[in-house]
Amino acid sequence: MTEDFKSKILKYLTGNLEEETGTNEPIFNLEEKTISKNLKNNITALLTSQESATFVSIYGKVYNETIENFLVYGRYNASSNFYGYIAIIDKSLNIVSLLTTFDSGTKIYPFISLQQDENGNFYALTHGYSSVSQDYRVCLFNNILSSGILNNIYKVKLRQSYFVPNSTNYRFSTARQNRIIKIPNEPVYYITFHNLSNETLIIKLAINVGAPNDWELNTINYFVDMVQFGIVPSSKNGETTIYFYGLDISTSQTVWFRYFTITNNTVTEGYNSNLGFVVSSIFSQIYSIGINTAYLSLADADNYRTILYKFDGQNLQTIIIFPWDVQSNGSYLYLETIDNTIFLKLRMITSTNSIISVGILENDTPYFYQVVSYNQITSDIYDYADFYITSNFNMKHIYVPVYGDNISTIRLTMLYNQFNYNGLEYENTNSMVPNSAILLEDSDDPDIIFARNLYNLNINNNTTVSTVEIPNTFLNDTTILGKELWSQTNTILIFDITPITKNIYEVLHINFFNTLLMKNSNNPNNEILNNLGATRLNQSISSTNDYTDTIANKIRINYEDGTNVIQKIGTPTITNNVATYTITIYVPKAITNIEIISNDENTSYQTITGTFDINKYYTLTQDVRVE
């Protein structure tokens, strides 16, 4: 039990607790470290060494909250051809495996988009080796992320490959967008291209067993780029609706935002808006997070600014605008979702340098933390994707690359609790309600390695047991040194440094025990009233928050004739973690004892006995200490 916890218990019991209000804003700069590695450079170096790669691009990442490793995919050039690659990355940004061939030995096709389905398997839209305008395929793979968990040998197995029919006249403009989507629990995929007439194509593939596959084509008479499909978790009347968002960048001098729904392969335009300016398409993005919700991050090349909009299915609203310092279109705002939370990467170009900030979007309010400013303006249009977030529940490691003279990466450690409070510690009646646990690594400079809400909270009389669960896929063969139990207001309640080594692939439960005992210091072996007072206090601070009723602010004077009287007593003063009650009583008749009781008069915390002469006044002093 920490001294802060003890202090708050004393304040709670005696009615001295200050009821503050915290500011629930995400905190980014919990911990910042510079590491001498850069993932894009490391991937490029390996591909150059192994495949004689001449140009390497990172197109995207795939995270899975049940696995610590994540996946990076992209494309590289070699011998005037294009090829795809997949890199498995661990939580420390190390390359665990770099895959350039299928399990069969064939070179991996160049990716346009790669996704993971509801069963963990991967699917992709790819193009041919020799051209970005031929041999388009829908490819189905194994669960690449989990394929090497047991033996660290990762594989890409091509389960099925389907050529897109009649695609010789099809094109795509931006590979980084979500150009393919699978309907959950159905063998149905939607993909999108453009044709040579600057129209947008939406193609439905239904895979049939024992019969030819169904390919259905819909054409939209606009050049809709920066496209994003919306994933729909439910259906109405047996009909699944797909949401499709994009920017029409060719019908006029200004850009249009367009929104479509697709039901039974019927495409309906649901909304359009002329934004009134020209965008830099390579630095703009549309990001969908579900039904009727999308965000637009646009580089306004007319007015030299970056704008973040939100579309709610009916209207566009401006969230924030970033004016550019120079008339350049190299600034951007990149969005990415981890564990249902939207993270942001902001690059602002000045006349001499690049300023990188990271942020989080909470209740449509962006919060930013400036990470670095370096005197190099990168020219690679895909460097926005060179930004990584590893997550184990409440703990996020955010990696931001630095491309200056000394290539490195800055790592931020952020504690973000999606369901609870995220600001600085504050004092209130729930300051002692256990909520989450933080684990630290065994080292001279211990890192936070795990953070999660409690698996179980068990309140049994005067003992509270708080349990955090570490799944079998986290912290294998890791020694856990520091263990912190946090309250709902980010007070550290318990801190322990007993080492625990988590065996490989075991589920580990760590229990924090907090037991309250009330004793008479004049007789240390005397537990007061079988700890009924301790039970009441423990249950109150741990869950019920009946602060006003629990406060010890009354006395009950019990007389020898079986009667009693209850009177209010003043709030005690606290000095050096000792609360001192000063109690004045009048003795009209013989007293048996005096009890210090709770405000609701249901709980007795202490019994005072002594010899009291009738018709006299007495001033009593009672000290309360939490040790």
Structure confidence at residue 354 as a pLDDT band (50, 70, 90): confident
Q: Which of 170-174, 260-264, 344-348, 561-565 has the highest mean pLDDT?
A: 561-565
What confidence category does residue 83 fall into, taking pLDDT thresholds of 50, 70 and 90?
Answer: very high
**Tens digits of residue pLDDT in 422-443:** 999 999 999 999 999 999 987 7
* pLDDT (mean) for 358-380: 83
Radius of gyration of the chain measured on its C-alpha atoms: 32
DSSP class per residue in 52-85 = --SEEEEEEEE--TT-S-EEEEEEEEETTEEEEE
Within a domain: 70:
yes
Taking 60 as the threshold, does the pLDDT of residue 379 lie above it? no
Q: Is 45 in the same domain as 123?
A: yes
Banded model confidence at residue 227, pLDDT cuts 50, 70, 90: confident
**Does 319 map to a domain?**
no
Statement to judge: residues 57 and 143 lie in one domain = yes
In this predicted structure, the answer to whether residue 116 has a pLDDT above a threshold of 60 is yes
Give backbone dihedrals phi and psi of 439, rounded to 5 degrees, phi first.
-115, 140
Q: Are residues 156 and 51 in the same domain?
A: yes
End-to-end CA separation in angstroms for the chain:
9
pTM of the model: 0.88
Identify whether residues 172 and 96 lie together within a single domain: no
Q: Does a structural domain hold residue 535?
A: no
In a domain, 467, yes or no: yes
Same domain, residue pair 122 and 10 = no
Is 445 found in the same domain as 508?
yes
Q: 159 and 48, same structural domain?
A: yes
**pLDDT for res 153:** 95
Task: Return the minimum-mean-pLDDT range out of 61-70, 225-234, 399-408, 571-580.
Answer: 225-234
Q: How many domains does the chain have?
A: 4
- Quick: pLDDT tens for 392-410: 899 998 998 887 667 889 9
492 lies in some domain: yes
| 531, part of any domain | no
- The whole-angstrom separation of Cα 182 and Cα 521 is 69
Last residue of a domain, one of 286, 308, 341: 286
Question: Which pLDDT value is given to residue 545?
Answer: 83
Question: What is the DSSP annotation of 476-504?
Answer: TTEEEEEEEEEETTS-EEEEE---EEEPT
pLDDT of res. 462: 94
Which has the closest alpha carbon to 460: 534, 546, 523, 409?
Answer: 534
What is the rounded CA–CA span in Å between residue 431 and residue 578?
Answer: 20
Q: Are 58 and 135 within one domain?
A: yes
Q: Which domain holds residue 123?
A: 39-163
Q: What is the pLDDT of residue 233?
A: 41
Average pLDDT over residues 3-8: 96
274-303 pLDDT, tens digit per residue, is 999 998 887 888 888 777 889 999 999 889
Whether 304 is covered by a domain: the verdict is no
Which residues make Cβ contacts (< 8 Å) with residue 511, sequence separation at least 6? 465, 466, 467
Max mean pLDDT range (220-234, 481-495, 510-524):
481-495
Is it the case that residue 384 has pLDDT exceeding 90?
no
Contacts of 480 (CB under 8 A, 6+ apart): 439, 440, 441, 442, 449, 450, 499, 500, 501, 502, 510
Closest CA to 419 of 452, 444, 397: 452
Residues 82 and 61 in one domain: yes
Average pLDDT, the chain: 90
Show which of 263, 286, 309 is a domain's final residue: 286
**Do both 199 and 266 map to the same domain?**
yes
Contact 207, 215 (CB under 8 A): no
- By the 8 A CB rule, do 162 and 169 touch? no
Domain endpoint, select from 113, 136, 163:
163
Give exposure, 430-451, as e/b (b: 16+ Cβ within 10 Å).
bbbbbbbbbbbbeeeeeebbbb
d(CA 190, CA 117): 13
Locate all alpha helices (DSSP H) within 24-149, ordered by sequence. 39-51
Q: HSE-up of 232 (CA within 13 Å, CB side)?
A: 19
Residue 23, pLDDT > 90, answer yes
Judge if 564 and 592 occupy the same domain. yes
Residue 298 and residue 247: Cα distance in Å, rounded? 10
Identify the weakest region by mean pLDDT among 106-110, 289-293, 596-600, 610-614.
Answer: 289-293
pLDDT of 234 > 60? The answer is no
d(CA 530, CA 462): 10
Q: Tell me the one-letter amino acid at 492.
A: I
CB 455 within 8 A of CB 509: yes
Residue 484 pLDDT grade (very low, low, confident, very high; cuts 50, 70, 90): very high
For residue 144, tell me if it sits in a domain: yes
Q: Which of 155-169, 394-408, 524-538 has the highest mean pLDDT?
A: 155-169
Q: What pLDDT score was predicted for residue 280?
A: 85
DSSP state of 544: I
| Judgement on whether residues 146 and 221 belong to the same structural domain of the protein | no
How many Å apart are CA 622 and CA 269, to the nearest integer? 76
